[in-house]
Amino acid sequence: MIKTLAAQIKEFKKDSVLTPIFMILEVLFETMIPFLMASIIDKGVETGDIGHICKVGAAMAVLALCGLWAGMMGAKYASRASAGFARNLRKAMYDNIQTFSFSNIDKFSTAGLITRLTTDVTNLQMAYQMLLRMFTRAPASLICAMVMAFTINAELASIYLVAVIGLGICLVLIMSRATKYFQQVFKKYDELNASVQENISGIRVVKAYVREDYENNKFFKAAENVYKMFIKAENIIVANMPLMMFAVYACILGLSWLGANMIVVGDLTTGELMSLLTYCMNIMMSLMMLSMIFVMVTMSFASAERITEVLNEKADICNPEKPVKEVKDGSIVFKDVSFSYKKDSQESVLSDINLEIASGETIGIIGGTGSAKSSLVNLISRLYDVTKGEVLVGGVDVRAYDLEELRNQVAVVLQKNVLFSGTILENLRWGNKNATEEECKRVCELACADEFIENMPEKYHTYIEQGGSNVSGGQKQRLCIARALLKKPKILILDDSTSAVDTATDAKIRKAFAQEIPDTTKLIIAQRISSIKNADRIIVMEEGKINGMGTHEELMETNAIYRDVYQSQNQGGGDFDENVKQGGEKE
């Protein structure tokens, strides 16, 4: 874990090295001041030597200024190093997340990834800055003060040794008890973020069903859980200060009592006693800083583990050593394909799929909910890898292709249509960042999106809100289809992508595809048979297997499921899942 995190320091190594150096210099300058103060009292104040007081006082002022300068430089470099470290961590995590396949993404919740990129990184940034500054300063100050105290009077300085050992044992016990609560609190943060994200993204549904009170209570419970967990940890850590102050006052009392007796008999001077009392505060404050460091490290340890999980997660799907850089055509072949989302799963989502699709062919895919239609087409663009068998595109196994090249030639319009904040043109250019406005307009004509875009005040420069919240479901689907067409793919997959489009517009889109992109292989998943009726072939899926395949006329004669669905849709019904059950019973 430490090695993984340390690798992200990168260009801030120099700042990370300079910070401890300046902190040690600051400690050295500060440690000399009490020593000189003893000289002022013993050789200046008691003897009335004004010259000595001025000389030593000037030296103390110089040391104080030097300590101030060293402290400022240490703070400067520590801030730069910790902020840079946090920046690199966020970038490394974000970059790694971009390489994840769908199976990798499934391991992490969205709220969990957001917490890792924000709260967890902030905790680690604060801990790193504290380590660079305080973790150097506190031990250095402790050691220097102890050395100077023993130099002045070893017998009195032994009081510090007893206090340090006793206090150290207490701090270890406190930290060990608090650690388990800090490790749990960030899981509660995930629940809190999940509640916020779910509420905001679904705010229209919340208001439509008047569930504001329910969502408020849900958020309050998540916030309350975080609060309670922090309270449990803080109730333990709060013992730090009383223990520290008890140790400080005990040392002062011990020094005052024993020191006064030693001054009376002449074994100690007043100035030396004053220096020892000052070093007492230095030592105890160093222990206080160490306890704060332990608190931060304890809190950040859980964050460090969570960040490391993301950084160490390796993409399940990656390029082969010598990838194929060209997709010859849009032909697709499934050979004995089986697939399950979890490698160790005993049940397959897809089983024994054998299928050949010629380049330029239009294939309709229909089936009930959970029949694995989407899973089938996701294997083509290698969003998932097959568990068994192979999928060939252009005569080559998809696992042999360069991922970028394959996905550029296999355009997928997923079930969940996503638009990003920006203009319509900016969203369309996700398909081709170099596309001209004329090319964008052309694909919008094919997807029948130009019909509503031209009626907008700013037309193609109209701003789309995050998630496409200011356009309708059908408009969003047509924009997503246009975006996919802009890639000029050899294979176009429409995964139930016209479900929110009226039948007339759906027919226009299909007609435009047939006329304008005849050489592109088209796979259309649909619930309406009218959307795929004119396809070259139609595949009927049931429980992860191909139940039937053929033209509309062939399936009407040979496949009971397809026939019953067609009849029910023509009669005004059309619940596919229900008809699959009825058809299965009839067969």
- Of the candidates 516, 515, 553, the one whose C-alpha atom is nearest the C-alpha of residue 533 is 553
Structural domain contains residue 535 = yes
Is residue 194 located within the same domain as residue 275?
A: yes
Q: The tokens of 555 are what?
A: 């399936």
- Mean pLDDT on 40-65: 79
Q: Count other C-beta atoms under 10 Å from residue 35's C-beta.
A: 18
d(CA 129, CA 75): 9
- Look at residues 312, 344, 371 and tell me which one is the last residue of a structural domain: 312
Structural domain contains residue 359 = yes
pLDDT tens string 347-399 = 788 888 888 888 888 888 888 777 888 888 888 888 888 888 889 988 888 88
d(CA 296, CA 124): 9
Q: Please check whether residue 159 is in contact with residue 255, taking contact to mean a CB–CB distance below 8 angstroms.
A: yes
Share of the chain above pLDDT 90, in %: 1
pLDDT over 50 (residue 63): yes
94: CATH: 1.20.1560.10
Is residue 231 located within the same domain as residue 368?
A: no
Q: Is the dihedral of CA 471, 472, 474, 476 positive or negative?
A: positive
Is residue 276 located within the same domain as residue 389?
A: no
> Of 185-199, 320-334, 478-492, which range is least confident?
185-199
pLDDT over 50 (residue 584): no
Quote the Cα angle for 480-484-486, to 5°: 115
Structural domain contains residue 534 = yes
Is residue 297 located within the same domain as residue 339?
A: no
How buried is 515 (Cβ within 10 angstroms: 0-12 exposed, 13-18 middle, 19+ buried)? Answer: exposed
CA dihedral 137, 138, 141, 146 (to 10 degrees): -160
Structural domain contains residue 323 = no
Is residue 361 located within the same domain as residue 270?
A: no
Residue 474 is which amino acid? G
Is residue 302 located within the same domain as residue 359?
A: no
Is residue 299 located within the same domain as residue 357?
A: no
Confidence of residue 574 (pLDDT cuts 50, 70, 90): very low
Is residue 364 located within the same domain as residue 489?
A: yes
Is residue 182 located within the same domain as residue 129?
A: yes
Whose structure tokens read 């998630």? Answer: 467
Looking at residue 345, its pLDDT comes to 67
pLDDT tens string 199-252 = 776 777 777 777 778 878 888 888 888 888 878 877 877 777 787 778 778 888
Structural domain contains residue 51 = yes
The DSSP code sequence of 185-213 is HHHHHHHHHHHHHHHHHTHHHHHHTT-HH
Is residue 360 located within the same domain as residue 247?
A: no
pLDDT over 80 (residue 566): yes
Phi, psi of 552 (to 5 degrees): -55, -45
Is residue 248 located within the same domain as residue 369?
A: no
| Domain of residue 76, residue span | 2-312
- Look at residues 312, 344, 361 and tell me which one is the last residue of a structural domain: 312
Helices and strands in the chain, H and E counts: 21, 12
Q: In angstroms, how far is CA 124 from the centroid of its own chain?
A: 14
d(CA 144, CA 151): 10
Share of the chain above pLDDT 70, in %: 92
- Provide the 3-class DSSP secondary structure of residue 551: coil
450: CATH: 3.40.50.300
d(CA 303, CA 297): 10
Number of domains in the chain: 2
- Of the candidates 366, 379, 378, 362, the one whose C-alpha atom is nearest the C-alpha of residue 416 is 378
Phi, psi of 302 (to 5 degrees): -65, -40
Structural domain contains residue 576 = yes
Structural domain contains residue 327 = no
Looking at residue 529, its pLDDT comes to 82
Q: The tokens of 488 are what?
A: 């000029």
Looking at residue 571, its pLDDT comes to 67
- Mean pLDDT on 557-586: 63
392, β-bridge pairs: 333, 397
Structural domain contains residue 320 = no
pLDDT over 70 (residue 499): no
Q: Which is higher by pLDDT, 542 or 497?
A: 542
Distances (CA, A) of 538 to 149, 332, 367, 553: 90, 15, 11, 10
pLDDT over 50 (residue 187): yes
Is residue 231 located within the same domain as residue 379?
A: no
Q: The tokens of 482 are what?
A: 């246009």
Looking at residue 500, its pLDDT comes to 64
Quick one: DSSP state of residue 74?
A: H
Distances (CA, A) of 256 to 36, 237, 276, 277, 489: 20, 30, 10, 8, 86
- Look at residues 312, 344, 363 and tell me which one is the last residue of a structural domain: 312
- Provide the 3-class DSSP secondary structure of residue 18: helix
Looking at residue 582, its pLDDT comes to 46
